[in-house]
Amino acid sequence: MTPPPVTSNAAPDSATGDLSLFGFIESVSDGVVIVDQQDRVVMANRAALGLIGHTRDATLGQPVAGAFRIFLERMRSRKPSGPMRFEHFYDNEWYMVQIYALVSPDGQSSTAYTIVLATEVSLRKRREFDFIETVAGLEEATRIAQMGTFKTIWQTGQIEWSPHMYTLHGVTPDTYNPASGGYAKFVHPDDRDYVQRANRDLAQGNAIANVQYRLVLNDDVLRWMRIDSRVLFDSSGAPYASFGTCQDITETKRREEELRELLRRNAILYEALEASPNGVAVLTAEETGLTILYVNAAFEQLTQHNSFSLNTAGLDALVTDDQSRVWRSFNAAMNASEGGAFEVDCRRRDGSVFPAQVELAAVRDHPGRAATAYVITVRDLTAEKERAAVLLQSQKMEALGQLSGGVAHEINNLLQPVIALSDLGADVLERDPGKAKQYFEVIGNSGRKAREVVRQVLTFARRDTPQLLSHDVLPLVIDAINLAAKGLPPNIVVETHLDLEDAKATLSATQISQVILNLMRNASDAMNGRGRIVVDLRRCAAEDVPAGMDRARPWIRLIVKDEGCGIDAQALARVFEPFFTTKPVGKGTGLGLSVVYSIVNTWGGTIKIDSEVDQGTTAVIYIPEQI
């Protein structure tokens, strides 16, 4: 709207002609503008010019415009008996406008009009205006935001709800009248006090914001509501009305709760990662490359790297040799989005080194897709390695003690007749040469037994590993069985199932003989020299090859089986230990199976012993067949 163009101040013309009246008009605080029949300004007082901000020269003789012209025309057509009043808003100010008609002497027509502009507008008028403006704006906003709105006129107790407000509360204007009270029945019992307090605040003139409470709707459905409201005051300053919005925030609440739970879990996970004794680093894999997102406290402590320094230095900085085979396979696994465990020498930031197990795990958003992240775990193996070394050393010492003790025991026993009988032999040599001869035989036998012990010990220690050549296995086994059978008690029956044509293996005849001799002697001893020994030799079917062995290659299987006393589980676990024996001294050296074990190992083969007490024992040897 354009301002009422104000005119004047030429000398008052016929319209007034009264200088004192003109002076009065000029002096009043209200703005006064007089226009002629053609709506041209013929006079404007100082107040009017001040209000409008125009000069007298720019105003006089110009027609008024906008709202003033509309009202002047209305005035002319309606010919009201009194002045016409309206409010007009211009340039952030509110004006009370009154237009008086100056009637011609005949009383039939208006000759001129006087417009009075007053700036005094009641406070209430302003509030009402604000209110209207607010309501208009909010209603538009709430319509868009699916909010319910409510108005309360405090002085009349009138309450109005927008249609959506009813929907939010699961009611209709027919079933519920907000003015009738009873709103509390919608509210969850625990929240009723809170809602009542907020309403009391409103009634006392305090705006409320973000009041959140639960509604219990018909079918016991809980919905979260949020209410915001402001208060409008009348001219006396008392709360006149309030206008507010109501919003269903159930979904927001749920998301907030989910987010809170997620954050809580994240916090727990974070704490767990931080507390882990193993170093943990999390990397993200993006097109631009790998980024170290996080390293835990143990990782920083172990490697002296934080995520920043590691991002700068790169993962290769973690190892002493980034070209090592194991580190290359680590990188290959990473490139292939795979996981794995790698034992490497880790390098700290200060250059010091520690042995570590580095485990790589790929994180995928979807199975089958490339990894989006990796988790690297670093475990310091220093203590473990030291423990293992100490254990190995003590095991070595124990084995050495066992070996030397066993050898000493055997040799001591064999030396006893050598010493005693050589003395006695010298004594009786002339008196009883027959007896002396008998003594010398025992001495000689003892010496030969001692030689056998030493030989076995040396075989066990692999000091005299014979040269291994390609041999046809069957003839060697037959020879070995025949040789061994000769030394067995007469009541031992040897049953053979030999089904092996043209099978070669890399071994020595002595070794085969030692293996079969030891196994058959054990079998015979287990049966107290009476019973049946079964020797079975054939190619092993792939499905019979024990798990853990290479099934793709051919194996020869040698079985030596007895019907003897068997071995209990505890002893079975130790049968390959040197000098472990279930036989009395003199019967066994405790080296037999240890020797067999070490021989089979030189072939790249495997030996397994199955036994149960009183159910007999089966020794199965798998020999790699030469292809």
Partner 1 sequence: MAHILLVEDSPEVSMSVREILSAAGHTVAEAASGKQALEQLKAAKFDAIVSDIWMPEMDGIALLKEIRGGGSKIPIVVISGGAPNAPLTYTAPLAATFGANVVLYKPFEKEELLGAIKSVLG
Select 401 or 487, whichever has its Cβ closest to partner 1: 401
The answer to whether 585 contacts partner 1 (rule: CB under 8 A) is yes
- 497 in Cβ contact with 535 (< 8 Å): yes
CB atoms near residue 109 (< 10 Å): 12
Which stretch of DSSP H or E encloses residue 410? helix 382-428
Rounded to whole angstroms, how far apart are CA atoms 43 and 22? 10
- Of 185-193, 378-386, 412-420, 470-478, the window that binds partner 1 (rule: CB under 8 A) is 412-420
Choosing from 419, 426, 458, 541, the residue that interacts with partner 1 (CB under 8 A) is 419
Specify whether the CB–CB gap between 592 and 522 falls below 8 A: yes
Relative to beta strand 531-540, strand 492-499 is parallel
Q: Under rule CB under 8 A, which residues in 422-481 are in contact with partner 1?
A: 423-424, 427-428, 439, 442, 445-446, 449
Please report how close the Cβ of residue 447 comes to partner 1 at its closest, in angstroms: 10
Our CB check for partner 1 shows the closer of 405 and 546 to be 405
Q: Does 16 bind partner 1 (CB under 8 A)?
A: no
Least gap, CB of 450 to partner 1 (angstroms) = 11
Backbone angles phi, psi at 607, to 5 degrees: -125, 135
Q: Say whether the peptide bond before residue 9 is cis (omega within 30 degrees of 0).
A: yes
Report the residue number, 297 or 415, with the smaller CB distance to partner 1: 415
Kindly tell me which residue out of 76, 253, 349, 409 binds partner 1, with binding defined by CB under 8 A.
409
DSSP three-state, residue 399: helix
Please report whether residue 421 would count as binding partner 1 according to CB under 8 A.
Answer: yes
Distance of CA 416 to the CA centre of its chain: 73
Stretch that binds partner 1, among 77-85, 240-248, 356-364, 405-413 (CB under 8 A): 405-413
Rank residues 285 and 571 by Cβ distance to partner 1 and give the closer one. Answer: 571
Beta carbons within 10 angstroms of residue 112's beta carbon: 20
Identity of the residue, 35 or 591, whose beta carbon is nearer to partner 1 in the bound complex:
591
CA 408 to chain centre: 62
Q: How far is the CB of 410 from partner 1 (least distance, A)?
A: 8
Q: 582: phi > 0 → left, psi -120 to 50 → alpha, else beta; which?
A: alpha
Is 141 a binder of partner 1 (CB under 8 A)?
no
Closest CA to 590 of 518, 488, 502: 518
Please, which residue, 204 or 445, has the CB nearer to partner 1?
Answer: 445
Q: Looking at 35-43, 131-139, 456-464, 584-592, which segment touches partner 1 (CB under 8 A)?
A: 584-592
Least distance to partner 1 from the beta carbon of 322, Å?
48
Which one of residues 295, 414, 515, 540 is an interface residue with partner 1 (CB under 8 A)? Answer: 414
Cα–Cα dist 319/345, whole Å: 6
> Cα-atom radius of gyration of the chain, to the nearest Å?
56
Around Cβ 376, how many Cβ atoms within 10 Å? 22
Q: What are phi and psi of 533, to 5 degrees?
A: -110, 130
Residues 258-277 that bind partner 1 (CB under 8 A): none
| Of 183 and 580, CB closest to partner 1 | 580
The phi, psi pair for 517, rounded to 5°, reads -60, -45
40 contacts partner 1 (rule: CB under 8 A):
no
CB of 422 to partner 1, least distance (A): 9
Q: State which of positions 562-581 bind partner 1 (CB under 8 A).
A: 579
Binding partner 1 (rule: CB under 8 A), the pick from 413, 465, 496, 513 is 413
User: CA nearest 199: which of 183, 188, 186?
Assistant: 183
Q: Does 213 engage in binding with partner 1 (CB under 8 A)?
A: no
Q: Is 418 in the site for partner 1 (CB under 8 A)?
A: yes
The token pair at 223 is 């919905």
Interacting residue ranges for partner 1, rule: CB under 8 A: 401-402, 404-406, 408-410, 412-421, 423-424, 427-428, 439, 442, 445-446, 449, 579, 583-587
